[in-house]
């Protein structure tokens, strides 16, 4: 039997005794484009990081492709929030994408010509090849996000985790990113995206994880995108929800 | 060019020159990673924190290298521990720990030795470099350059995007302490040339000047080393010619180079930026 792409059992995370994520259990199969949505402070990024063992968890079991995170790290690509990056760092666009090949390079080995060509190919896929020699800070927000997506592509991963990839991103970039994420899913990869904006959630994803510290809803977009379920997650912010027509 | 003649003539000056050139390279290379990781204050802290280690090494008559690395790394760990386990912010934790280590070092040294030794450790005395010191510096230089060359990928990733590094399985905590160890070793190498108090300038000033001159990390590393060497040689010249403390003259030379790049760097310099702003404004009129 094929293993689920991602299975989480009773995940619990706290910061100094304050609960951030409570008892979340779910299973995602390969080939899905999954949005993690929820109000501000719902612990979406925390949840994402906890899944990847980037922050300690109190309890819970996580299996990716049937293995522990530690065993499959090289099959995971992670794209951080844009404001976690120092955009003045002395690195060119191509070199930033080239970092995506590092996980598959042995210790002490440098990227070779074919790695550089592959990085260039990934840049081409996101439509950024003409910017390859620029310093990363010279790009717009959307272009920066596309470069980081190219870096994730360069990792040849099975699972992609993206933290708020659509914040401060122009329309063209957003369309490019969504198109590529959908392509990845049609190739059987699994994509998990933290997303803050409900209005587009049903166009982008085929599954949703609705989170407000605990798991409020999980399933196909049709199942989760119900007024009463959304209301439960967003509580006080519901007046605003009605305005955008949920 | 009495300086060149003197270098040809006097062994002590040759040793001083070679040592300060090596220090320029070592500090330039390590300094690039220090400033890109936003750890300039940490660099200052660790360089001060080697003092008790140096003092205790004197006490037991062992080479001060071991004591210095030990107390530098212990201080780095203590800083990390306080930050991670309390609400104290990182810079505060750094301030508490390094001044404590430094104070302890001063007490131990004054109990053991004369104040002249303390003065030399704090401010450097490159003209008194012995052959053994020079070899230690060379050894440290080789180790640091080899480490940076071999682990370049890992240092680059964790400096640029530490979370990604952690996500694909790099031991980021270990790499941090590894860099702290390199930093401590660099400090030890610079002890006689610029002294504990001013080491941080050799670490960050040439690297900062290089940072203004390029958008590629490996170019920055080479430039920082070059600027480090240049500062050392110019500084040594003034130190020898006018009988000034070598640490101070070397740091002043580095600062002068920094000011020049700050003003005139082709892309990131102040002058260039001003011209660009003016041009933009003019085009809008």
A108 to chain B, any CB pair closer than 8 A? The answer is yes
Query: Using the beta-carbon criterion (under 8 Å), do A84 and B156 form an inter-chain contact?
Result: no
Cα A170 to Cα A135, A174, A181, B195, distances in angstroms: 19, 6, 17, 52
Cα–Cα distance between B36 and A53 in angstroms, integer?
25
- Cβ contacts below 8 Å, chain A against chain B, sum to 68
For residue A137, give the DSSP letter.
Answer: G
Q: pLDDT tens for residues B231-257? A: 999 999 999 999 988 889 999 999 999
Query: Using the beta-carbon criterion (under 8 Å), do B167 and A54 form an inter-chain contact?
Result: yes
In chain A, % of residues over pLDDT 70: 95
Query: Using the beta-carbon criterion (under 8 Å), do B168 and A70 form an inter-chain contact?
Result: no
**Residue A203: per-residue pLDDT:** 87
CB atoms within 10 A of CB A226: 13
**Residue A242: per-residue pLDDT:** 57
**Dihedral sign, CA of A95, A96, A97, A103?**
positive
CB atoms within 10 A of CB B68: 28
Cα–Cα distance between A195 and B121 in angstroms, integer?
55
Of B36, B163, B215, the CB nearest to A135: B215
Closest CA to B182 of B211, B151, B221, B143: B143
Alpha-helical regions (H) of chain A: 44-51, 69-72, 93-98, 113-125, 141-154, 171-186, 201-204, 221-224, 227-234, 238-243
Of B150, B153, B164, the CB nearest to A80: B164
Q: pLDDT tens for residues A7-54? A: 999 999 988 778 888 889 999 999 999 999 988 888 899 999 999 999
Cα–Cα distance between A76 and B247 in angstroms, integer?
49
| Interface mutation vs chain A, best among B38, B152, B153, most A CBs within 10 Å | B153
**Residue A163: per-residue pLDDT:** 94
Helices (H) and strands (E) counted in chain A, each on its own, are 10, 9
| Lowest mean per-residue pLDDT among A230-234, B22-26, B114-118 | B114-118
Cα–Cα distance between A62 and A3 in angstroms, integer?
13
**Residue A19: per-residue pLDDT:** 84
For residue A216, give the DSSP letter.
Answer: E
SS3 content of chain A, % helix, strand, coil (to 5): 45, 25, 30
Kind of pairing between the strands at A59-64 and A18-28: unpaired
**Residue A146: per-residue pLDDT:** 96
Closest CA to A5 of A163, A151, A160: A160
Count: domains in chain B: 1
Query: Using the beta-carbon criterion (under 8 Å), do B164 and A92 form an inter-chain contact?
Result: no
A68 to chain B, any CB pair closer than 8 A? The answer is no
**Residue B113: per-residue pLDDT:** 65
Query: Using the beta-carbon criterion (under 8 Å), do A90 and B214 form an inter-chain contact?
Result: yes
Q: pLDDT tens for residues A50-103? A: 999 999 899 999 999 999 999 999 999 999 999 899 999 999 999 999 999 999
CB atoms within 10 A of CB B251: 23
Kind of pairing between the strands at A207-212 and A33-37: parallel
**Residue A1: per-residue pLDDT:** 47
B159 neighbourhood in chain A, CB within 8 Å: 89
Tell me the pLDDT band of A233, cut-offs 50, 70 and 90: confident
Query: Using the beta-carbon criterion (under 8 Å), do A70 and B169 form an inter-chain contact?
Result: yes
Of B166, B169, B211, the CB nearest to A90: B211
* Closest chain A residue to the Cα of B171, Cα to Cα: A54
Task: Give B274: exposed, middle or buried? Use CB within 10 Å, 0-12, 13-18, 19+.
Answer: exposed
**Residue A39: per-residue pLDDT:** 86
Tell me the pLDDT band of A244, cut-offs 50, 70 and 90: low
Kind of pairing between the strands at A159-163 and A207-212: unpaired
Alpha-helical regions (H) of B115-216: 115-123, 131-150, 152-160, 162-167, 172-190, 199-211
Residue B17 contacts by C-beta under 8 Å, 6 or more apart in sequence?
Answer: B7, B233, B236
Say if residue A241's pLDDT is above 70.
Answer: no
| Lowest mean per-residue pLDDT among A99-108, A225-234, B81-90, B158-167 | A225-234
Cα–Cα distance between A119 and B90 in angstroms, integer?
36
Q: What is the mean pLDDT of residues A156-180?
A: 94
Between helix B115-123 and helix B40-60 the angle, nearest 10°, is 150
| Helix/strand/coil for B220 | helix
Cα B40 to Cα A44, B91, B121, B227, distances in angstroms: 33, 10, 21, 18
Q: What is the mean pLDDT of residues B118-126?
A: 83
**Residue A78: per-residue pLDDT:** 95
Say if residue A139's pLDDT is above 80.
Answer: yes
Site of tokens 């619990």: A12
Report residue A159: phi and psi, to 5°. Answer: -120, 140
ipTM: 0.90
Closest CA to B225 of B31, B6, B76: B31
Q: pLDDT tens for residues A187-216? A: 999 999 999 888 788 889 999 999 988 898
Written as six digits, the tokens of B244 are 């000034």
Residue B261 contacts by C-beta under 8 Å, 6 or more apart in sequence?
Answer: B209, B212, B213, B269
Cα–Cα distance between A176 and A146 in angstroms, integer?
8
A8 neighbors A18 (Cβ within 8 angstroms)? no
* Closest chain A residue to the Cα of B165, Cα to Cα: A103
The model's pTM is: 0.90
**Residue A17: per-residue pLDDT:** 76
The CATH T-level fold of domain A6-243 is Rossmann fold (3.40.50)
Q: What is the mean pLDDT of residues A170-180?
A: 94
What are the beta bridge partners of residue A9?
A61
Cα–Cα distance between B22 and B189 in angstroms, integer?
9
Written as six digits, the tokens of A203 are 């166009």
B181 backbone φψ class: left, alpha, beta (φ>0; ψ -120 to 50): alpha
Tell me the pLDDT band of A238, cut-offs 50, 70 and 90: low
* Closest chain B residue to the Cα of A87, Cα to Cα: B160
Domain that holds residue B256: 2-284
**Residue B118: per-residue pLDDT:** 79
Residue B64 contacts by C-beta under 8 Å, 6 or more apart in sequence?
Answer: B53, B54, B57, B58, B188, B191
Tell me the pLDDT band of B104, cut-offs 50, 70 and 90: very high
Query: Using the beta-carbon criterion (under 8 Å), do A54 and B211 form an inter-chain contact?
Result: no
Query: Using the beta-carbon criterion (under 8 Å), do A80 and B36 form an inter-chain contact?
Result: no
Name the average pLDDT for chain B: 91
Q: Which residues of B95-126 are buried (b: 16+ CB within 10 A; e: fewer)?
A: bebbeebbebbbebbeeeeeeebbebbbbbbb
Say if residue B87's pLDDT is above 80.
Answer: yes
Residue B274 belongs to domain with CATH number = 1.10.3470.10
């Amino acid at each position: 039997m094929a293993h689920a792409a991602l299975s989480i059992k009773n995940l619990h995370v706290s910061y100094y005794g304050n609960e951030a994520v409570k008892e979340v259990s779910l299973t995602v199969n390969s080939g899905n484009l999954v949005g993690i949505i929820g109000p501000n402070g719902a612990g979406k990024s925390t949840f994402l990081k906890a899944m990847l063992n980037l922050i300690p968890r109190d309890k819970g079991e996580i299996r990716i492709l049937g293995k522990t995170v530690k065993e499959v790290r090289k099959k995971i690509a992670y794209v951080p929030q844009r404001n976690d990056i120092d955009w003045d760092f002395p690195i060119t666009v191509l070199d930033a994408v080239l970092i995506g090949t590092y996980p598959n390079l042995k210790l002490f080995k440098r990227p070779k010509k074919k790695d550089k060509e592959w990085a260039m190919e990934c840049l081409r896929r996101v439509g950024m090849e003409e910017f390859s020699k620029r310093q990363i800070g010279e790009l717009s927000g959307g272009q920066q996000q596309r470069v980081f997506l190219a870096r994730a592509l360069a990792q040849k991963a099975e699972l992609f985790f993206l933290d708020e990839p659509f914040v401060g991103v122009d329309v063209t970039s957003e369309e490019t990113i969504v198109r590529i994420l959908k392509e990845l899913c049609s190739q059987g990869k699994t994509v998990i995206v933290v997303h803050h904006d409900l209005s587009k959630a049903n166009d982008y994803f085929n599954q949703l994880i609705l989170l407000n510290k605990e798991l409020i809803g999980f399933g196909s977009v049709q199942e989760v995108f119900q007024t009463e379920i959304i209301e439960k997650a967003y509580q006080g912010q519901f007046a605003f929800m009605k305005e955008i027509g949920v | 060019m009495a300086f060149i003649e003197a270098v040809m003539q006097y062994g002590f000056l040759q040793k001083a020159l070679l040592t300060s050139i090596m220090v320029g390279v070592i500090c330039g290379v390590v300094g690039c990673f220090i400033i890109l990781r936003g750890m300039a204050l940490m660099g200052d802290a660790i360089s001060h924190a080697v003092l008790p280690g140096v003092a205790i090494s004197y006490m037991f008559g062992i080479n001060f290298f071991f004591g210095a690395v030990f107390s530098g790394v212990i201080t780095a760990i203590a800083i990390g521990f306080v930050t991670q386990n309390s609400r104290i912010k990182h810079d505060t934790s750094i301030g508490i720990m390094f001044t404590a280590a430094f104070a302890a070092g001063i007490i131990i040294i004054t109990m053991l030795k004369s104040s002249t030794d303390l003065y030399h450790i704090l401010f450097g005395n490159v003209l008194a470099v012995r052959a053994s010191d020079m070899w230690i510096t060379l050894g440290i230089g080789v180790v640091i350059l080899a480490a940076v060359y071999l682990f370049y990928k890992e240092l680059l990733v964790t400096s640029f995007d530490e979370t990604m590094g952690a996500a694909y399985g790099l031991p980021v905590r270990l790499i941090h302490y590894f860099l702290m160890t390199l930093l401590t070793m660099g400090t030890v190498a610079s002890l006689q040339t610029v002294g504990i108090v001013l080491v941080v300038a050799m670490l960050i000033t040439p690297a900062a000047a290089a940072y203004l001159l390029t958008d590629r990390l490996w170019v920055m590393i080479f430039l920082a080393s070059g600027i480090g060497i240049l500062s050392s040689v110019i500084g040594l010249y003034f130190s020898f010619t006018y009988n000034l403390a070598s640490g101070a003259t070397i740091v002043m030379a580095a600062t002068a180079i920094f000011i020049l790049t700050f003003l005139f760097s082709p892309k990131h310099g102040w002058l260039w930026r001003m011209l660009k702003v003016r041009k933009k404004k003019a085009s809008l009129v």
